[in-house]
Amino acid sequence: MAEQKELPISELELVYLNGQEHGGAPVFKDVRLSRDSQTVCERTIETAKIFNKRIRAESECKRCADFVLEIRDKIKQLKWLENQERKAWVHILTQIKAAINGLQTQLEQVGEQLGHRIETWQAEQEAGRNKIREDLLREATELERKAKYDSDPKASRKAQVQAKEVRKEAEQFKILKPIPGTATVIVYEFEIENRSLAAKLPSEAVAMEPQDKWFTDRIKEAKTAGQPIPTFPGIRVIIKTQVRLPR
């Protein structure tokens, strides 16, 4: 197995400007490359223009190839710098997640369990209402048959009136009215399946974890336009139902 080379320590650096405490964590007005680091990168980009022309000789090809290696080295340094600067924040975010995740998971589980209880009860009520409705519709059909074939005109008219009343009553059992203030809604959750693909999504969509609101908004936009749920590279969409309760 080939030995994996570590990236060189970057000669580039970031500067954090106008830091302020916010909720126990520093927030900066601006984060940017230092002036020298930015100059190094900009000079490399400017120099690349000299080589960005048709190659006419082997010596030109070699110089161009050497400069491409310089460019790649700068890219490696920038990536190394990004990873180094993120390490402390990743560690803090991991600690925050560990502190919250256990109770959050338990709360989500008991919330889902109780929501399932409500959904089960509503399903049972719906089944009962459907049975009553079917019984009433059968009764109405029998009355309509009596109204059609009964030789006694008075009994026939009475059966016809009763059939209409029974059908009207049956319609009342057609739709189950939800508990006041509740509704079953579809909610979406998102997991990163491929971090390199997910990193190509906008920063407001994926920070360290998927930003559910951004993805949910895109799904709502697609539905409003009559389009199917979009796919997101590197992201798995989890569809759940949830009972919405009054606040």
pLDDT by residue (tens digit) across 27-38? Answer: 777 888 888 988
Quick one: which of 230, 240, 238, 233 has its CA closest to 193?
233
Per-chain mean pLDDT for the chain: 78
pTM: 0.41
Residue 131 C-beta-side C-alpha neighbours within 13 Å: 5
Range picked from 23-27, 163-167, 197-201, 233-237 for highest mean pLDDT? 163-167
Task: Say if residue 218's pLDDT is above 80.
Answer: yes
pLDDT at residue 28, rounded to an integer: 76
Residue 243 C-beta-side C-alpha neighbours within 13 Å: 22
Which stretch of 56-70, 97-111, 192-206, 212-226 has the lowest confidence by average pLDDT?
192-206
- β-partners of residue 20 are 27
Quick one: which of 82, 72, 73, 70 has its CA closest to 8?
73
Return the residue matching tokens 């080939």.
Answer: 2
- Higher-pLDDT residue of 122, 206: 122
Which stretch of 104-108, 162-166, 219-223, 225-229 has the lowest confidence by average pLDDT?
104-108
- Higher-pLDDT residue of 123, 24: 123
Sign for the CA dihedral angle at 118, 122, 127, 131 comes to positive
pLDDT at residue 5, rounded to an integer: 47
pLDDT at residue 2, rounded to an integer: 43
